[in-house]
Structure formats: C-alpha cells, structure tokens
Amino acid sequence: MPVIAVVDYEMGNLHSVCKGLEKAGATPNITYSPKELEQADAVILPGVGSFDPAVKHLRGRGLEQPIKDAIASGKPFLGICLGLQILFESSSEGTQPGLGIVKGKVRRFLPEPDIAIPHMGWNQLQVTQPKSILWEHLPSDPWVYFVHSYYVDPIDPQIRAATVTHGTQTVTAAIARENLMAVQFHPEKSSNIGLQILSNFVAQVREKIAA
C-alpha cells in the first residue's frame, strides 16, 4: 500500500484523516521528520486553527523547505483546510508570511445579514475543474463539510478546482495544479463524498508509483 506522510505540526485533525486514508487503501504515517516526508509516496498537510500559529509551528519544526521540496519533486500533495491556507503568501488573519507556494492571499468573509461566520456545515461545491482527479466518481457539484472564517483568493483563477457560495460571496473551495491539490472543506468529515475524494487522491499516488 502507498505510504502517505501526514504532516504533524500540532495543528491538524490527524487521526480522522488517517482513518480516511486507511479506508482508502493507504498507509498513513503521522510525522514531522523531513526524511520521512522525502521517503513517503505522497504528503498530506491537514490543519485546524489559526494562520500565524500554524506557520510558526511549521517553521519551528523545520518543515517549510521539506514541504516545498515535496511539491517541487512532483509527489502528490494534498492540503486540507488550514493546510490549504498556509500554502498562500499571507493572511488577513495574521501577520506571519505564508509558505508562498501559491500566489495570493487568505481573506475573511465579509459580514452579511443572516449569514453566520464561521461558515460551518454542509455546502455544495461548484466544480470548476471537472477533469481533476479530485472529483472522479462523484456526482456533479457534491456536498461537503466546511468549518472556516477565512478563504483563499489565488491570483491565478485557473488554479481553482471548485468554488462555494456562502451568502452572496462565492469563494475558492479547492485548488489543483499538477501534483498540488488542496481543499478548504474537510473530506474526513464529509461522509462518503469525502472518502471518495481521499480514495481519488490515493489512486493518483498509486498511478505515480506505477509510472
């Protein structure tokens, strides 16, 4: 089974992600070892919490460059929730620079009458990259589970793999570019749809190994 490194920087919902990966037929390895990230067949960067502590913990554990190296190597990479946001250059949630792997900023939802912030619960994706492996074997515009007050705003609109609408605001819900994928929602909390997304990621890892 493919070995997938799940990055441990004290900010992730690690065990739920690992259970999903096991169901999808992979062997998860919770780690903060740069060497183990390099040796793994793929990398997942989960995340729950705030932007500044997340990037501080990553840098404090010496993980910034290993993550960049893993993505640059062509290894399949999946960011989840905060693990999507910290790939960007900066966030209005804090003052720390992000990893800058994706050009753009993380912004807060604007307040509107009758909508809640954080955006929490089930919502429907509008898929903008229908050929992305993320969405294989899924119904069109599937429902997934969100918990967030901030959203990513990439400079290059072509990187958007899906959007979501909360109130009158339509924002990026997922990105995909070659081996780099990341989602704002929680696949590990999104029932069968989320399990299929993790299975799709594992399938891509298997294809990469076989190539």
Are 134 and 167 in contact by the 8 Å Cβ rule? The answer is no
Q: Are 51 and 96 in contact (CB under 8 A)?
A: yes
Q: How far apart are CA 47 and CA 185, in angstroms?
A: 11
The span from the CA of 130 to the CA of 65, in Å, is 31
- Catalytic sites, residue numbers: 81, 186, 188
Query: CB count, 10 Å around CB of 131?
Result: 10
**Per-position DSSP letters for 128-153, written without gaps between them:** S-TTSGGGTTS-SS-EEEEEESEEEE
